[in-house]
Amino acid sequence: MAKNYVSDQEFKNENFTIDFLTNGEYDNCHFLNCNFASGDLSEIVFVNCSFENCDLSNAKLRNTSFQNAEFEECKLLGLRFEESNPFLFAIKCNTSVLNFSSFYKMSLKNTALSNCQLQDVDFTEADCSLCSFEGSDCLSANFFQTNLQGADFRSAINFSIDPTENRVKKAKFSRNNLHGLLHSFSLVIES
């Protein structure tokens, strides 16, 4: 159970790599230019919180709760989101770097991952239905047994999705990036 309750506060230019963020529930808080890299965010609850220009790379997320958390221009390298609390899990990422992170078996339904670097991200068995990958770079991202029904890849780049190994019904693609959908068939596509 959370020890402290913090509401409507702004944390600016804080370094939480030495003195970790105090365990508790943070409601409607804004974190600006904060460093959480390799820190321990285990058991912390973030409700309606926003993170702007923060570094959470390699932070521990054991049972961390992200309920409607927004990340803008953040570094989220190597995060294991599947270790976080799945209850009411909801995030939105814009112009952020999530390379080498994992959403294994996570429910990401309706999640926006816009203009993000999603290189080598693991989406294995995740529910990414109705997700937006607008403008994101999905180089070497792993989509296997992933629910991508209704997902929007129209402006995403560098993805490789095998439609025989993933659910892609009503997913959106553009003519310019169809090769990412057909890559697994080793077809030669010329313009």
Residues 107, 30: Cα–Cα separation, whole Å:
24
**Up-side HSE of residue 152: CA atoms within 13 Å toward CB?**
13
pLDDT of 127-183, one tens digit each? 999 999 999 999 999 999 999 999 999 999 999 999 999 999 999 999 888 777 766
187 confidence band (pLDDT: 50, 70, 90): low
User: What 8-state DSSP symbol labels residue 71?
Assistant: E
Return d(Cα 66, Cα 146) in angstroms, integer.
Answer: 21
pTM above 0.85, yes or no: yes
What topology is assigned to 98-191 in CATH?
Pectate Lyase C-like (2.160.20)
- Quick: pLDDT tens for 45-56: 999 999 999 999
Domain 1-95 listed as CATH 3.50.30.40: no
Where exactly are the structural domains of the chain?
Answer: 1-95, 98-191
Is the confidence at residue 62, as pLDDT, over 70? yes
d(CA 42, CA 159): 31
pLDDT at 2 over 50: no
Integer angstrom CA distances of residue 13 from 2, 61, 91, 169, 175: 24, 21, 22, 44, 43
CA–CA gap between residue 57 and residue 39 (Å, rounded): 8
Compute the mean pLDDT over every residue in the chain, rounded to the nearest whole number.
Answer: 94
Distance between CA 151 and CA 73 in Å, rounded?
A: 22
Mean pLDDT, to the nearest integer, of 88-99? 98
Query: To 5 degrees, how large is the angle CA 76–CA 82–CA 92?
Result: 50
pLDDT of residue 180: 77
